[in-house]
């Protein structure tokens, strides 16, 4: 939704700015009105289109899984940029509250006009239906209703000119424009171009109606009538009126000859519309692809995985205060070989995975494989107690980096403690981002690649990125490691997860 709003705003602002630069001083009012309407409609429609990219992004495969699914080694390290999060609830509710207020106000103005219609007296002049009303000043039009003050008599010389002017509003459907732009302004009140276009369309309506009336009235006479009119505002912004405050601009516009809009302006504006369509419509919606999760809700995950950019190499590695050797020393000084494990003769290596966040804190700390007897919990505890990390960076921005560190528990059967328990030693291996190859069970059926991702040790792996190469389609694996992504059978997949070799799958 946020993408739609952003593209709508950019499209409307750009097109209305182009109107202001190239058309606002023209005198082809019909074409100007048409451009304002089309521009506003395009701002609503263009963001809805999701067509394939004209120039697909080139993939950068690092491993291949093909012809029997053979995996080849590739990159060493990946990192994911964390997307910024912000609670938009307050902003959304505020926007809805203002829009609701403006819509209620609009409905109120329309209701007033209907009530006026019921209180008016129907009349006719040269075949034109008129509603006479004593409580208004001047005249105005709402759809096919022409309201006329009782103060304006048929005997007056300006009567016919006023009727022609108001008749133009009705014949040209100006009330449809006003209703459309008022609703648009109410929904997108925060958009400056929505207010500008409302004011501009009303001005064009008066210019068009003046031109229509001048077909049967001489310019000098019509100008005199306009100057001598009461020109009092009736306060009904949903109506079009002869008695309007644009008097000086209207007088000036009537004296200027209408010239044809230059071909280069028409071509430029048409090209601009096409360009915006290509930019916003000819690209598939990434978020729609990410949302697809094999009929399971991603919101059920312990960690919601956002759409993130994946890097093959981090420019600046994460560091530890005093160097990584200081981190390993911390682990060795703090860790204890559990008595339960020593008595049970349990030894082996626990691979502890953790994420160094953008603020240097650690998260998602867990043992990727288990040897039991309290060794897994002890390894996780010691890593969790570490502080003093500095985040890695990519392209000048801090990034989240997943690391894997092996911690080996080894017994010394020949040595025993005073309590007769077997002694043991703990070795902290080098923390690195490469944890081997992913174990992938995958197949193609009914237009989708489906499967499950596991660690080399056989544990289901959630949060793995599965992207369709040369497209913006992609999903992430669920809590149980399963995934499904729609794609053509000929399209290749790239499967990535921080700390593991990337995999490319092709049929």
> Are the beta carbons of 406 and 350 closer than 8 angstroms?
yes
User: What percent of the chain is modeled with pLDDT above 70?
Assistant: 73
Q: What is the mean pLDDT of residues 55-67?
A: 41
Mean pLDDT (the chain, rounded): 76
Where residue 175 falls among pLDDT bands split at 50, 70, 90?
very high
Structure confidence by residue, pLDDT tens digits, 83-141? 344 455 788 888 999 999 999 999 999 999 999 999 999 988 877 889 988 888 778 89
pLDDT of 446 above 80: yes
Token code pair at residue 133: 């009303």
For 320-383, the DSSP string reads ETT-HHHHHHHHHHH----HHHHHHT--EEEEEEEEE-TTS-EEEEEESS---TTHHHHHHHHH
Residue with tokens 């059967």, as numbered in its chain:
413
Indicate the domain borders of the chain.
Answer: 89-258, 319-428
List helix spans (H) across 46-173: 89-119, 159-171
Q: Using DSSP bridges, classify how beta strands 362-367 and 348-356 pair: parallel, antiparallel or unpaired.
A: antiparallel
pLDDT band per the 50, 70, 90 thresholds, residue 336: confident
Among 12-16, 127-131, 135-139, 297-301, name the one with the lowest average pLDDT: 297-301
> 3-state DSSP call for residue 124?
strand
pTM: 0.52
pLDDT at 505 over 80: yes
Report the range of poorest mean pLDDT among 63-72, 184-193, 195-204, 396-405: 63-72
Q: Which residues, other chains included, contact 495 with Cβ-Cβ below 8 Å and sequence gap of 6+?
A: 438, 440, 453, 464, 465, 466, 467, 502, 503, 504, 505
* Domain 319-428 fold: TolA/TonB C-terminal domain (3.30.2420)
3-state class percentages of the chain: helix first, strand second, coil last, to nearest 5: 40, 25, 40
The reported pLDDT for the residue numbered 54 is 55
| SS3 at position 137 | coil
Q: Write out the two tokens for 265.
A: 């302006």
Strand partners, 348: 409
Closest CA to 241 of 155, 123, 118, 136: 136
**pLDDT digit string, tens, across residues 447-467:** 888 899 887 767 787 778 888
Query: What pLDDT score does 194 carry?
Result: 94
Q: What is the pLDDT of residues 370-410, one digit of tens each?
A: 888 888 888 888 888 888 888 877 656 777 777 888 888 88
Please give the Cα distance from 434 to 406 (Å, whole number). 11
Q: How many whole angstroms separate alpha carbon 405 and alpha carbon 454? A: 18
More confident residue, 159 or 201: 201
Which range has highest mean pLDDT (187-201, 434-448, 453-467)? 187-201
Please answer whether residues 477 and 453 qualify as being in contact, where contact means their C-beta atoms are separated by less than 8 angstroms. Answer: yes
In angstroms, the CA 410 to CA 496 distance is: 33
């Amino acid at each position: 939704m946020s993408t739609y709003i952003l593209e709508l705003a950019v499209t409307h602002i750009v097109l209305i700015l182009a109107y202001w630069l190239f058309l606002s001083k023209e005198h082809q009012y019909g074409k100007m009105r048409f451009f304002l309407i089309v521009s506003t409609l395009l701002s609503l429609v263009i963001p809805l289109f999701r067509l394939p990219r004209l120039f697909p992004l080139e993939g950068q495969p690092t491993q291949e899984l093909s012809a029997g699914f053979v995996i080849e080694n590739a990159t060493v390290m990946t990192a994911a940029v964390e997307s910024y999060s912000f609670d938009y609830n307050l902003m959304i509710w505020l926007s809805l509250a203002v829009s609701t207020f403006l819509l209620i106000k609009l409905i109120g103005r329309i209701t007033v006009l209907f009530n006026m219609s019921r209180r008016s007296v129907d009349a006719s002049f040269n075949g034109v239906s008129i509603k006479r009303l004593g409580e208004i000043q001047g005249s105005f039009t709402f759809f096919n209703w022409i309201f006329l003050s009782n103060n304006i008599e048929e005997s007056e010389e300006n009567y016919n000119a006023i009727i022609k002017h108001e008749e133009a509003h009705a014949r040209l459907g100006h009330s449809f424009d006003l209703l459309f732009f008022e609703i648009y302004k109410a929904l997108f009140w925060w958009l400056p171009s929505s207010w500008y276009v409302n004011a501009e369309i009303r001005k064009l309506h008066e210019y068009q109606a003046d031109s229509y009336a001048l077909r049967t009235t001489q310019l000098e006479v019509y100008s005199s009538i306009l100057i001598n009119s009461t020109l009092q505002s009736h306060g009904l912004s949903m109506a079009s009126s002869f008695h309007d405050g644009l008097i000086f601009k209207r007088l000036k516009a009537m004296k200027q000859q209408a010239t044809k809009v230059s071909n280069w302006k028409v071509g430029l504006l048409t090209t601009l519309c096409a360009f915006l369509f290509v930019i916003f419509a000819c690209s598939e919606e990434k978020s729609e692809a990410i949302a697809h999760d094999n009929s399971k809700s991603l919101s059920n995950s312990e960690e919601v995985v956002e759409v993130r950019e994946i890097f093959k190499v981090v420019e600046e590695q994460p560091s530890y205060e005093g160097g990584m050797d200081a981190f390993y020393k911390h682990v060795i000084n703090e860790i204890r070989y559990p008595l339960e494990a020593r008595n049970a003769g349990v030894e082996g290596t626990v691979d502890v995975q953790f994420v160094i966040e953008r603020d240097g804190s650690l998260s998602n700390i867990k043992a990727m494989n288990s040897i039991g007897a309290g060794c897994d919990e002890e390894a996780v505890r010691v890593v969790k107690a570490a502080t003093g990390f500095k985040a890695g960076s990519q392209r000048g921005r801090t990034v989240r980096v997943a690391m894997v560190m092996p911690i080996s528990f080894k017994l010394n059967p020949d040595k025993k403690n005073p309590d007769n328990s077997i002694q043991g030693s703990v070795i902290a291996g080098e923390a690195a981002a490469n944890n081997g190859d992913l174990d992938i069970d995958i197949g193609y059926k009914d237009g989708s690649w489906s499967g499950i991702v596991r660690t080399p040790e056989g544990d289901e792996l959630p949060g793995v990125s599965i992207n369709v190469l040369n497209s913006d389609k992609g999903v992430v694996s669920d809590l149980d490691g399963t995934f499904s992504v729609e794609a053509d059978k000929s399209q290749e997949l790239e499967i990535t997860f921080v700390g593991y070799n990337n995999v490319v799958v092709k049929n």
